């Protein structure tokens, strides 16, 4: 494989680019946006409000991601919600002749799906302009060759037909990002690296106090790949290079596109590097036949989606890669959600882990640096086993004090997400270190809720320094002797003099159970602050965020109390409890939870991403339906067209019994009499 790539011809882009085409302004006003799609150019000025917080769920809704080729060019922005309308139709962007796309704050938040920028690229978009751009989405654009900028002055230059220096898009970037842009994408840059045309300069950072995340990156820094030299004495924010990975994983939404890239650009008969450190998962779409609407089935989308599983399975078998598959013999569900199994079965303190999902930081609960990447980065890692990195600054989140009994790690995160520093996008791309005695008191499962939801913060990754609880977890789940588990944790603590760009302080004693109002996880408020009683149609308890063993303990605690009082799920509520892995299901069986769930009227589901990505039981069917959910994000359309509220596991279970959103307190009567 490497010999063939070393003979491949690659060259840099010209020193200037001329972008010919129209500019599409993604405005809040659906009339203005629709007018542009119909052919009228918008004379934009700062007073015209652009859409903020555009998620990748809106750029390419989940069902669009069943496609993994140029067909995606028909679909960008189909899920874009402008006020209460969805003004973009199939093919309208491609027909419009647009070369640039412009929006406001936090462009590309949410899922790491590279289908989003790939769909834009296939529709003709070569330039993305926004106030600020989420880290994974921005890297995906660069890896594909799409230019990105936060300089709105470039818009007029495009409209005047100017030749724009490529330096306008590389200014201020490190040598790797600059090189990727100059070579037109990550693959060409990596080929140039393999050929010796690009020789990277190791960081010259002298020894300094470092955060835990910085220490792990320094240990994994690629210095001389030809001689296998790994590790540098120290790194600092802004240092750019490649780090070797310990684990690389992908799921069926991403593997097929990555496999196509690999076969087309590397060769159908070539082999990935070190397949034993690659994992694949069939975990996202195992319930799809139950969730897909009859209209979409008639369109042939179910058949398209089933090809994802087939392509991943065939590629994994050919390459000798471990695949955690779906259940057979007519059962929907999977062996495990990827994040659940990575934490349960593979992650170790001090590792670098990359995955094809924004919630890869889940594994940071045991003190590793785990982060989501896009399709192109995954595909390139199959060749080089490393991944590019610019060392981020670190945000320190300190949660202190004894939390109330009905407050959980989910409430910690909803409080953090509404913090002005986070809500304004200042935490985008940062390492997030969670600490304080309130965090130290959490189980590894609960810590995983926090690190998982670093994706909603917009952070690069999140982690908790390993401690005695981590040692016990590794011993239990890996069958590892105590001495070996303790050695893994040695040296994995931030230095006392380590530098942080921001310190956020949270007083756990003042927290109350929270909920996030529909539209964004940052729309948090105390449940008791709601102005009116909110009737619930669906309660969904599951996903990687809330399908762990301790989450099941929380659901069971509420439901056991309810059962003892003769209470059941409200007659009008559909209540689903979905575990994250077969290991969690066995735990539920051993503790009698499955019978308890059945007794109160809840439906237990096998592991799968399911309703969290609009692909399983628990999705809403109409805009009027209300869902209370323990999942991680509630962007428009995320789990159906209805109104999606986020809350902790106790609140979700209590609300299912009460029939309206309510908190749980020990002994509290929930059902109306």
Residue 225 lies in a domain: no
Sign, Cα dihedral of 391, 395, 396, 397: negative
Q: Find the mean pLDDT for residues 216-240.
A: 93
**Per-residue confidence (pLDDT) for residue 1, from 0 to 100:** 65
- Write the CA distances from 472 to 347, 367, 368, 468, integer angstroms: 14, 13, 16, 6
Last residue of a domain, one of 119, 140, 162: 162
Q: Are residues 503 and 536 in the same domain?
A: no
Residue 156 lies in a domain: yes
Quick: pLDDT tens for 105-136.
999 998 888 999 999 999 999 999 999 999 88
| Burial (CB count within 10 angstroms: exposed 0-12, middle 13-18, buried 19+), residue 480 | middle
DSSP 225: G
Q: How many CB atoms lie within 10 A of CB 237?
A: 16
Q: Are residues 445 and 492 in the same domain?
A: yes
**Per-residue confidence (pLDDT) for residue 5, from 0 to 100:** 81
With vertex at residue 372, the alpha carbon angle to CA 648 and CA 293, rounded to the nearest 5 degrees, is 65
Count the domains in the chain.
3
Asked whether the predicted pLDDT for residue 25 surpasses 90, the reply is yes
pLDDT class for 480, splitting at 50, 70, 90? Answer: very high
Q: Are residues 524 and 653 in the same domain?
A: yes
Evaluate whether 291 touches 616 at the Cβ level (below 8 Å): yes
Asked whether the predicted pLDDT for residue 96 surpasses 60, the reply is yes
Lowest mean pLDDT among 262-266, 292-296, 372-376, 404-408: 292-296
**Per-residue confidence (pLDDT) for residue 291, from 0 to 100:** 76
Q: Distance between CA 192 and CA 184 in Å, rounded?
A: 12
Q: What is the CATH number of the domain that holds 622?
A: 3.30.499.10
Give CA 109 to chain center in angstroms: 9
Global confidence as pTM: 0.89
Q: Are residues 493 and 592 in the same domain?
A: no
- Write the CA distances from 37 to 52, 74, 92, 301, 397, integer angstroms: 19, 13, 6, 25, 44
**Per-residue confidence (pLDDT) for residue 330, from 0 to 100:** 62
Which pair of structure tokens corresponds to residue 631?
């999942």
Asked whether the predicted pLDDT for residue 309 surpasses 70, the reply is yes
Q: What is the CATH number of the domain that holds 79?
A: 3.20.19
Evaluate whether 349 touches 474 at the Cβ level (below 8 Å): yes
Q: Distance between CA 561 and CA 567 in Å, rounded?
A: 9
Q: Which candidate, 657, 652, 57, places its Cα nearest to that of 410?
A: 652
User: Domain span at residue 136?
Assistant: 19-162
Give CA 381 to chain center in angstroms: 18
Q: Are residues 528 and 630 in the same domain?
A: yes
Last residue of a domain, one of 510, 544, 573: 510
pLDDT class for 310, splitting at 50, 70, 90? Answer: very high
Q: Are residues 616 and 654 in the same domain?
A: yes
The residues pairing with 251 across neighbouring beta strands, listed in sequence order, are 281
**Per-residue confidence (pLDDT) for residue 399, from 0 to 100:** 98
Evaluate whether 539 touches 656 at the Cβ level (below 8 Å): yes
Q: Which candidate, 667, 412, 631, places its Cα nearest to that of 557?
A: 667
Residue 121 lies in a domain: yes
pLDDT class for 614, splitting at 50, 70, 90? Answer: confident
**Per-residue confidence (pLDDT) for residue 6, from 0 to 100:** 73
Q: Distance between CA 448 and CA 485 in Å, rounded?
A: 19
Q: Distance between CA 231 and CA 221 in Å, rounded?
A: 5
Last residue of a domain, one of 477, 510, 543: 510
Q: How many CB atoms lie within 10 A of CB 192?
A: 21
Q: Is 440 helix (H, G, I), strand (E, B) or coil?
A: helix
Phi/psi at 95 (5° precision): -70, -25
Residue 210 lies in a domain: no
Q: How many CB atoms lie within 10 A of CB 72?
A: 24
Q: Are residues 641 and 556 in the same domain?
A: yes
Three-class HEC string of 1-17? CHHHHHCCCCCCCCCEE
Q: What is the total residue count of the chain? A: 673
- First-to-last C-alpha distance (Å) of the chain: 70
Residue 526 lies in a domain: yes
Quick: pLDDT tens for 169-225.
999 898 899 999 999 999 999 999 989 898 888 899 999 999 999 999 999 999 987
Q: Are residues 544 and 497 in the same domain?
A: no
Sign, Cα dihedral of 282, 284, 287, 291: negative
Residue 109 lies in a domain: yes
Q: What is the CATH number of the domain that holds 504?
A: 3.40.1060.10
Q: Are residues 440 and 520 in the same domain?
A: no
- Write the CA distances from 442 to 172, 202, 407, 562, integer angstroms: 40, 38, 12, 26
Residue 544 lies in a domain: yes
Residue 212 lies in a domain: no
Q: Distance between CA 200 and CA 170 in Å, rounded?
A: 17
Q: Which candidate, 659, 401, 628, 662, places its Cα nearest to that of 529?
A: 662
| Burial (CB count within 10 angstroms: exposed 0-12, middle 13-18, buried 19+), residue 318 | middle
Q: Are residues 534 and 490 in the same domain?
A: no
pLDDT class for 39, splitting at 50, 70, 90? Answer: very high
| Burial (CB count within 10 angstroms: exposed 0-12, middle 13-18, buried 19+), residue 591 | middle
Q: Are residues 506 and 522 in the same domain?
A: no
Q: Find the mean pLDDT for residues 349-358.
A: 96
**Per-residue confidence (pLDDT) for residue 673, from 0 to 100:** 55
pLDDT class for 42, splitting at 50, 70, 90? Answer: very high
**Per-residue confidence (pLDDT) for residue 522, from 0 to 100:** 95
Evaluate whether 233 touches 377 at the Cβ level (below 8 Å): no
Q: Are residues 506 and 525 in the same domain?
A: no
Evaluate whether 570 touches 658 at the Cβ level (below 8 Å): yes
Asked whether the predicted pLDDT for residue 235 surpasses 60, the reply is yes
Average model confidence (pLDDT) across the chain: 94
């Amino acid at each position: 494989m490497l010999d063939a790539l070393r003979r491949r011809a690659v060259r840099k882009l010209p020193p200037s680019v001329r972008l010919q085409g129209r500019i599409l302004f993604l405005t809040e006003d659906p009339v203005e946006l629709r007018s542009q799609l119909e052919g009228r150019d918008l004379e934009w000025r700062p007073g015209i409000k652009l859409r903020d917080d555009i998620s990748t769920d809106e750029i390419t809704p989940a069902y669009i991601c069943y496609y993994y080729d140029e067909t995606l060019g028909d679909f960008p922005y189909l899920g874009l919600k402008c006020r209460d309308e969805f003004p973009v139709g199939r093919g309208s962007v491609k027909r419009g002749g647009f070369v640039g796309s412009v929006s406001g704050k936090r462009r590309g938040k949410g899922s790491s799906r590279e289908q989003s920028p790939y769909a834009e690229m296939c529709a003709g978009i070569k330039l993305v302009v926004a106030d600020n751009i989420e880290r994974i989405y921005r890297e995906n654009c660069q890896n594909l060759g799409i230019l990105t900028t936060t300089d709105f002055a470039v818009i007029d230059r495009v409209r005047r037909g100017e030749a724009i220096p490529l330096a306008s898009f590389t200014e201020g970037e490190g040598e790797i990002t600059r090189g990727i842009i100059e070579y037109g994408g990550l693959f060409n840059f990596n080929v140039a690296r393999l050929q010796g045309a690009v020789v990277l300069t190791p960081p010259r950072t002298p020894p300094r106090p470092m955060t835990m995340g910085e220490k792990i990156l320094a240990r994994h820094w690629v210095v001389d790949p030809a001689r296998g030299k790994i590790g540098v004495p120290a790194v600092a924010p802004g240092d750019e290079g490649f780090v070797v990975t310990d684990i690389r994983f992908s799921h069926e939404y991403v593997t097929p596109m990555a496999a196509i890239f690999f076969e087309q650009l590397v060769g159908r008969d070539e082999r990935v590097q070190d397949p034993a450190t690659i994992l694949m998962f069939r975990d996202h779409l195992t319930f799809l036949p139950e969730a897909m609407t009859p209209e979409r089935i008639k369109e042939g989308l179910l058949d398209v989606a089933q090809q994802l599983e087939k392509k991943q399975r065939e590629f994994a078998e050919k390459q000798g890669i471990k695949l955690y598959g779906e259940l057979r013999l007519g059962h929907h569900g999977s062996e495990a959600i990827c994040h659940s199994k990575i934490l349960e079965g593979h992650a170790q303190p001090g590792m670098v882990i990359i995955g094809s999902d924004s919630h890869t930081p889940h594994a940071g609960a045991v003190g590793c640096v785990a982060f989501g990447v896009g399709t192109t980065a995954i595909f390139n890692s199959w060749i080089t086993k490393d991944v590019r990195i610019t060392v981020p600054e670190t945000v320190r989140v300190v949660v202190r004090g004894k939390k109330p009994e009905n407050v959980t790690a989910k409430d910690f995160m909803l409080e953090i997400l509404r913090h002005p520093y986070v809500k304004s996008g200042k935490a985008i791309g940062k390492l997030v270190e969670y600490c304080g005695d309130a965090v130290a008191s959490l189980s590894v499962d609960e810590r995983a809720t926090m690190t998982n939801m670093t994706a909603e913060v917009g952070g690069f990754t999140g982690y908790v320094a390993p401690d005695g609880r981590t040692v016990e977890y590794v011993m239990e789940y890996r069958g590892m002797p105590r001495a070996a588990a303790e050695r893994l944790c040695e040296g994995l603590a931030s230095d006392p003099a380590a530098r942080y760009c921001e310190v956020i302080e949270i007083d756990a004693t003042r927290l109350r159970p929270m909920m996030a109002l529909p539209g964004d996880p940052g729309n948090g408020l105390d449940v008791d602050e709601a102005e009116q009683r909110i009737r619930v149609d669906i309660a969904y308890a599951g996903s990687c965020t809330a399908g762990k063993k301790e989450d099941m303990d929380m659901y069971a605690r509420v439901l056991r109390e309810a059962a003892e009082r003769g209470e059941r799920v409200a007659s009008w509520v559909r209540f689903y409890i979905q575990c994250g892995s077969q290991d969690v299901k066995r735990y539920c069986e051993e503790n009698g939870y499955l019978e308890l769930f059945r007794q109160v009227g809840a439906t237990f589901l096998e592991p799968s991403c399911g309703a969290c990505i609009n692909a399983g039981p628990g999705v809403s069917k109409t805009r009027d339906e209300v869902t209370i959910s323990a999942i991680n994000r509630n962007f428009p359309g995320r789990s159906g067209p209805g109104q999606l509220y986020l809350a902790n596991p106790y609140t979700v279970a209590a609300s299912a019994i009460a029939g309206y959103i309510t908190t749980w307190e020990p002994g509290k009567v929930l059902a109306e009499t």
